[in-house]
Amino acid sequence: MLNFESADPARKGGKKSPKVILGIGSLAAVITLASTLAANISINSGPVEFGQGVAQTTTCDSNIFITPQSTFVNAEVNADFLFNSFSVTDISSACEGKTFTIKAYKNGQSSALDLYDSNGTIYSEISVRYIDGSFSFAGGGLLSDDIQNIASGFYVTIGAGTQPAFSLVSGRDLDRITIESKETVYSVGEIGPGGGIIFYYSEIGFQCGPTLSSTCKNLEAAPSDWNIGGDPGLSWATDTDSGDGRGNQIISVPGAYGTAIGTGYKNSVAIVGQAGNVAASTAAVAARDYRGPNNLTDWYLPSQDELSQIYSKRTMVGVSEESFYWSSTERYGDFGWAQIMSNGFGNEYQKVFDFAVRPVRAF
């Protein structure tokens, strides 16, 4: 059914849903598409509309499926079938941590076609990250509503979200699609996979995780609204389970002396494991209890050096510049390390003090 009433380039009309099997890797795997987007050509064991395809063994997956779709857009001028959606499926878990980049080409042209317009900005590629089992856009003018996580892959629809994005590629011009994978690189200031702000990046990486047996490159801080009412003020340790009424506030925590970037997770696990600490009563426990919008379980209280990095990006992270913040680094039995965000001054303070808390995570 065609809509002859609306001139709005909405996503309406019949769709063609061919399926192409291909590989993805550090070099682009090319699918050659027929200029009419209607050819029915056999590849491997099945038919392929949109033209011919090339299968290629790759670094993270030997073969995946890409299913491009075209939608008829009714308009007063230049009504046409436009390439505006596609799915990529059967992606191996070995591709975790990769960024996929999709481009479209016309035969005889070396430059990629302009794929879509979003709020007046033209984009010629779509980049999708595969992090923690989930797919999301790596920049560009599309919104989270434009991508769906589906079984073993993702589905992209240009302009499914609320922004005025629309496809620019006519089926008559589309001859090739390329898809390539590369290691995912985040930039400081971007939204991280946990929904927080990336505030530190190391190209060579650093030891991380609860036992420092992993290698990470990024640190992200929980968003400023992670806790209703702002960053809570909590003590470093409880004051129970002791005859003198101070309990954990004077008892050293083995394993919580790490100061370096990456050691905050190990510190926090040790603090939470100390007898007497209960949920949300102390700084490290509250940080470890945080899950974020993506329900990740590896948030923790930053180490001394990680907290210093938060200070250096304090405006970006959105901490209170008038507050002291706890680190997870213990300094002797009675003291932990804290830092004020107004001028970066840090010192050892008794664990009884209520200082602000901001969870972080490394990946």
Spell out the domain ranges in the chain.
15-183, 197-362
- C-alpha distance across the termini of the chain, in Å: 49
Q: What is the pLDDT of residue 176?
A: 79
Structure tokens at 43: 């590849």
Q: What is the pLDDT of residue 246?
A: 66
Torsion of CA 315, 321, 327, 333, to 10 degrees: 170
Q: How far is CA 325 from the centre of its chain?
A: 26
Closest by Cα among 359, 362, 348, 361 to 231? 359
Residue 27: its H or E element: none
Q: What is the pLDDT of residue 53?
A: 39
Q: How far is CA 282 from the centre of its chain?
A: 29
Closest by Cα among 341, 302, 349, 301 to 323? 341
Q: What is the pLDDT of residue 114?
A: 96
Q: What is the pLDDT of residue 349?
A: 96
Cβ(287)–Cβ(236) below 8 Å: no
Residue 127: count other Cβ atoms within 10 Å of its Cβ: 19
Which residue(s) pair with 29 in the sheet?
A: 179
Between CA 171 and CA 21 the distance in angstroms is 20
Eight-state DSSP code of residue 363: -
Q: What is the pLDDT of residue 320?
A: 96
Average pLDDT per 10 consecutive residues for the chain, totaling 363 residues? 34 44 42 36 34 44 79 75 89 88 86 92 94 85 91 92 83 82 87 93 95 96 95 87 65 94 98 80 94 92 98 97 97 93 96 96 96
Torsion of CA 9, 11, 14, 16, to 10 degrees: 110
Q: What is the pLDDT of residue 247?
A: 72
Structure tokens at 11: 């996503």
